Structures are given as C-alpha cells and as structure tokens.
Amino acid sequence: MALPEQILTFESNLNRLLEAYQQGQRDFSGINLQGLNLSRVNLTGANLSGANLSYTNLSGANLYEVNLTDANLDGAYLGSVILPDQETGRLVYGSVLVRTNLSRAALVRASLVEANLSRTTLFQANLRQADLRQANLYRTNFNGADLTEAQLRQAKFCGVNLENAIIDILELSKANLDPETRKMVAERISSGSWHS
C-alpha cells in the first residue's frame, strides 16, 4: 500500500505525463503511476513499457497502440478499456501485452481477440466472459485465474500454467493446445480436479 507522500509523487508523475503527452511526448517507459485514476485518459501511442500501473483505474482509457511490454498491472482495473481503430472506431484486435503483469486484474468481458499475451502473468485475474479467441498464450500464467465463460476458440495454448484456474473444459476443448498442455488437462480431468 502506498504511503501519502508516495501518492503525491505518483500524482505528480501523472500530471507530468499528461502535460508531456499534450506536448507530443510519447515515451513514458518505467513511469510509476501506482494506484492512480487514469479512467477515460487518452494515451494513444504512448510507450508505457516497464511502467508501474499496479492498482491503477484504467476504465474507459484509450490505450490504442500503447506499448505495455513488461508493465506491472497487478490489481489494475481495466473495465471498458478502449482500443479503437482511429478510422473505423471499432475495437482493434491483436493487442500486444507480452510479459505484462496482469495479476489480479479485472478483465471481465475484456476483448482480447488475437491478443499476444505471451509470457504474461494473469495470476488470480478475473477473466469471466473475456474473449480470448485466437489469442497467443505462449507460456501465459493463469494460476488461480477465473476464466468462467471465457471464449477460447482457436486460442493458442503452449506451455500455459492453468494451476488452480477456473475454466470451462468444453470451451478449452475449442482451443489449440500443445501436447504438454493437452496432457496436463487430461490428467486434471482424470484426477477429478476439473470436470468435463
């Protein structure tokens, strides 16, 4: 938990970021915005790689073409995050969140179609009804994540950690599972850990 003087520092970081963004700067790699309210903020094209966005409210934020590689979004709230195509206004598929820490993130009904979540940590994340169709899930950590009613058709599972995950086996059967993941799923079903 952040101390009051740390919060003032984080808020001054946010103010500097917004001012610099207005002046055309886009590289904010490594910035610390822990626990701040960034709801409805437009950060189109910003580089937030390595940024600390833990426990940050990003609801309704415009993150089109934002680089979040190695960002820490532990406990962040991402409800209704906007990733629109600037020409059509439609949601963009194929978000890149490689090696991002999304532990305990609220991603209920998130659209992550064709997203690259390689090596991303989704420990205890809430992905209820999330759309992960055709997502790249190479070595993604779903330990303790809730994937209830998540859409997984043609999602690419390779070396994925599903320990303690809540997942719909029927939906998982629609995904592309590598032999290692397929074996782990079969063992869990046969041991009664998961129910088909």
The tens digit of pLDDT for each residue in 36-78 reads: 888 888 888 888 888 888 888 887 777 777 777 777 877 777 6
H-helix or E-strand containing 190? helix 179-191
Report which of 93, 192, 104, 182 is spatially closest to residue 142, judged by C-alpha positions: 104
What is the maximal distance between C-alpha atoms in the chain? 59
Q: How far apart are CA 110 and CA 73, in angstroms?
A: 15
Give the DSSP letter string of 13-43.
HHHHHHHHHHTT--B-TT-B-TT-B-TT-B-
Output the CA torsion 59→65→70→71 (10° steps). -30
Q: How far apart are CA 72 and CA 70, in angstroms?
A: 7
Confirm if 123 and 143 have CB atoms less than 8 A apart. Answer: yes
Confirm if 117 and 135 have CB atoms less than 8 A apart. Answer: yes
Joined together, the tokens standing for residue 121 give 């940590």
Walk along the chain (196 residues) and give the pLDDT tens digit of each residue: 443 344 445 677 778 888 889 999 999 889 898 888 888 888 888 888 888 888 888 877 777 777 777 778 777 776 655 554 444 433 445 566 777 778 877 777 777 878 888 888 899 988 888 889 999 999 999 999 999 999 999 999 999 999 999 998 888 989 999 999 999 888 888 887 775 5
Sign of CA dihedral 98, 158, 76, 74: negative
Strands 136-138 and 156-158: parallel
CA distances from 196 to 57, 96, 127, 163, 179 (A): 36, 31, 19, 16, 18
